[in-house]
Amino acid sequence: MNIETIKDFFNQFNVSVFHRLDALVDFQKNASLKDVILCEHAYACTYSIDFEAMFEHLHGLGYTHYMSLYSDGTHTYAKIDDGLKQSIMPTNVYFLAEECFTLYRPTFESFVHNLALSNIYRHTDERFGTHCIKLPLVSVVVTNYNYEAYLGECLESILSQDYPFIERFIVDDCSKDGSLEILETYTDRFTILKHSHNQGQLKGFFTGLEASEGSFVVYVDADDLLDTHAISASLSVHLLASPPVAFTCLRNRQIGEKSEVLNNYHLDFAVYEQSTLYVSPRIIYRPFWRWSTTSAMMFRKSVLDLISIKETDAFRICADYYMVHFANLIGGSMLINIDAVGYRRHGKNNFSKNLIIGGHVPTGHFLIDNHPEHRSLWEHLLQHMWSNKILFERYFNSYEGFIRRLAYIAPYEIAMEIIDMDQSTHVLYQRCSDENKVRLEHFRIEEAARKKEIAEKMLEKRHQVYSQYELNTFFQL
C-alpha cells in the first residue's frame, strides 16, 4: 500500500494527499492545508525544517494539541497523532500512519464509510442494525449573485464538511462584481454553472437541481456559512428519524457582515426545548413560517423533482417561500435544534434587510422588500398540482385524498377561480375547504393555549431569577 495508491483513492473525494514530510514543509511555508491526509509513518524526521519556528506558527492555529516535539540529543523529531479521529481544528486535516489502515479496516472505502457514519451518529442515539449500508450522495448547490465579499468563506465552509460523499455546485446568476474571478479558483472542487442572464434565486435552485445526482440536496446562499457538522446533522434525522420527511431544517446562528456572532437563534425557528420537532403538512392559506432559512435545510431530491417548475419569475427573491411551503405540503418537515449554519445579516439581503434590534421583529418588510404575494403562491401550487394530478394523486391514496391536500393551498372561493374543476370535484373541494375552516379555528384556540403556557413558564423563570436576586442581595447586606 504505497503513497500513490492512497492518492489515487482519495482523489475521488476531492482530497489532496501529501507525504508527511512534504506536508510539514507546507506547514512551514504557511500553505493552506485544506482536506489533507498525512500518511506514512507516525514519526517524521528531517534536517531541513526549523521545527521550533513551525510550531510557533501552528500554535495560534490550534494544531499543536495533536503535535509534539522531542529530541534524541542529535536530531529533533515531530510526532503527530490524533487517534484516527478527525481533528477539531480550523481545517480538515487527518493524521494517519499508513500501517493504521491495515489495523483499522482492510480497505480505504470502509474507513471513509465508517468515519462518515460515526459523524452522523454524533447527532442521534439511533443506530442502523448493520454497518454494511451504502450512505447517500448529497448535492450541495451554492447560489450566488454579487456576493463577492462572502463567496470564498462560504465555499471554504462547504469544503470543510465532515461528511465525504458530497458533490458540489455553484450557480452564478450573472454576477457583475468580482465573483467570477473567485469562482475560477474553485473549478477543481466545484462544478460551476452560469446563467447567461439574471433569472432569480428559484431558477438558480432548479438549475442546480437539474445537474444534481444526490439523493439529498442542500441549497446554500453564497453569503451564509455551514459548520463542519451541518450535513452530518441533517442526515442523522433524514436517515434515522421517524417519520421520514420532505426536508429538515437546522437552527441558524445569526452572524454579521464580518462573520461575528450576533445571536445563536433565529426567531422564526419554532423549537423550544425539544431536540427535534415534526411540522406536518398544514393549511397554507393561513400564513405561517416555522423554519429558519434555506441554507439550514436539506431536501429530498425526489420531492424537489415533483415541485420543480419552469416559470420562476414570481419567486426571483424569497425562493424558499415557494420551496418550503410546497415541500412541507407534500411530505412534512423536521426542525433540528442544532445550530450549524451561519445566517448573515448584513442589511443587503434580498428580503431580510432588517438588522437585529432586539425583540421579536420580522427579518424584512413584506411590502417594502417585495416579498411574493400569498395569492401568487396559491396560484402556482394549485396550477402545478392540478396540471400534474396523475403524478401527484398516487401519493395521497385516492382522488379524494389528492383534493383534500389541494384544499390546504387555498379556500374554495379562490380555488374555483384558479383551476377548472368538474361538478363532482367542486362539491368535494368545497366540503374539504369547509372542514379546513373548522380545523383552523381549532388551531387558533390551541395556539392561544400554547402561547399562554409558554408565557407562564417564562413568568415562572422570572420569579425564580428574582427570588435568587433577592436572596443574594440579602446575604450581601
**Confidence bin at 166 (pLDDT 50/70/90):** very high
Arithmetic mean of pLDDT, 24-44: 37
> Is the pLDDT confidence value at 10 over 90?
no
Q: How far apart are CA 391 and CA 303, in angstroms?
A: 12
Report, in this order, helix, strand and coil percent for the chain, each rounded to 5.
45, 15, 40
Percent of the chain exceeding pLDDT 70 equals 68
Which pLDDT score, from 0 to 100, does residue 89 have?
31
Q: What is the DSSP string of 267-324?
A: TT---SS-SEEEE----TTS-------GGGEEEEHHHHHHH--S--GGGSS-HHHHHH
Model confidence over 261-271: pLDDT tens digits?
Answer: 988 888 788 77
Nearest CA among 274, 216, 283 for reference residue 245: 216
Residue 439, SS3?
helix
DSSP state letter for 66 = G
Other C-beta atoms lying within 10 Å of the C-beta of residue 272: 10
Q: How far apart are CA 153 and CA 147, in angstroms?
A: 11
Judging by beta carbons within 10 Å of its beta carbon (0-12, 13-18, 19+), is residue 450 exposed, middle or buried?
exposed
> Is the pLDDT confidence value at 284 over 90?
no
**Is the link from the previous residue into 106 a cis peptide, with omega within 30 of 0?**
no
Phi-psi region of 174 (alpha: psi -120 to 50; beta: other; left: phi over 0): left
User: Are the C-beta atoms of 252 and 335 separated by less than 8 Å?
Assistant: no
Q: Please tell me the least confidently modeled range out of 81-95, 173-187, 296-310, 361-375.
A: 81-95
Nearest CA among 352, 347, 346 for reference residue 370: 352
Which pLDDT score, from 0 to 100, does residue 136 have?
95
Q: How far apart are CA 125 and CA 122, in angstroms?
A: 8
Nearest CA among 192, 142, 122, 132 for reference residue 340: 122
Percent of the chain exceeding pLDDT 90 equals 40
Q: Please tell me the least confidently modeled range out of 30-39, 250-259, 282-291.
A: 30-39
Torsion angle, alpha carbons of 427, 428, 429, 434, to 10: 90
Q: How far apart are CA 311 and CA 326, in angstroms?
A: 15
Q: How far apart are CA 33 and CA 35, in angstroms?
A: 6
Which pLDDT score, from 0 to 100, does residue 437 have?
86
Nearest CA among 21, 38, 259, 9 for reference residue 156: 259
The CA-CA-CA angle for residues 126, 127, 132, to 5°, reads: 160
User: Are the C-beta atoms of 235 and 229 separated by less than 8 Å?
Assistant: no
**Confidence bin at 177 (pLDDT 50/70/90):** very high
Which pLDDT score, from 0 to 100, does residue 442 have?
77
Judging by beta carbons within 10 Å of its beta carbon (0-12, 13-18, 19+), is residue 264 exposed, middle or buried?
exposed
Grid coordinates given for 95: 493524521
Per-chain mean pLDDT for the chain: 76
Which pLDDT score, from 0 to 100, does residue 450 have?
73
CA dist list (Å): 202 to 30, 82, 263, 304, 347? 40, 43, 28, 12, 21
Question: 133-371 belongs to which homologous superfamily?
Answer: Spore Coat Polysaccharide Biosynthesis Protein SpsA; Chain A (3.90.550.10)
User: Are the C-beta atoms of 261 and 378 separated by less than 8 Å?
Assistant: no
Model confidence over 316-326: pLDDT tens digits?
Answer: 878 888 999 99
Model confidence over 360-392: pLDDT tens digits?
Answer: 666 655 555 556 678 888 889 999 999 999 999
Arithmetic mean of pLDDT, 271-289: 84
Model confidence over 418-476: pLDDT tens digits?
Answer: 989 999 999 999 999 999 888 888 777 877 777 777 777 777 766 665 555 555 554 44
**Confidence bin at 297 (pLDDT 50/70/90):** very high
**Confidence bin at 257 (pLDDT 50/70/90):** confident
Which pLDDT score, from 0 to 100, does residue 120 have?
92
Q: Please tell me the least confidently modeled range out of 53-57, 244-248, 327-331.
A: 53-57
Residue 140, SS3?
strand
**Confidence bin at 238 (pLDDT 50/70/90):** very high
User: Are the C-beta atoms of 39 and 19 separated by less than 8 Å?
Assistant: yes
Amino acid type, 402: F
Question: Measured in Å, how far apart are the chain's first and last C-alpha atoms?
Answer: 73
Give domain limits for the chain: 3-104, 133-371, 380-458
Model confidence over 390-424: pLDDT tens digits?
Answer: 999 999 989 999 999 999 998 889 998 998 999 99
CA dist list (Å): 180 to 148, 170, 188, 204? 8, 11, 14, 16
Radius of gyration of the chain (CA): 26
User: Are the C-beta atoms of 433 and 411 separated by less than 8 Å?
Assistant: yes
Model confidence over 59-112: pLDDT tens digits?
Answer: 444 444 444 444 556 554 444 444 333 333 333 344 444 444 343 334 456 667
Judging by beta carbons within 10 Å of its beta carbon (0-12, 13-18, 19+), is residue 150 exposed, middle or buried?
buried
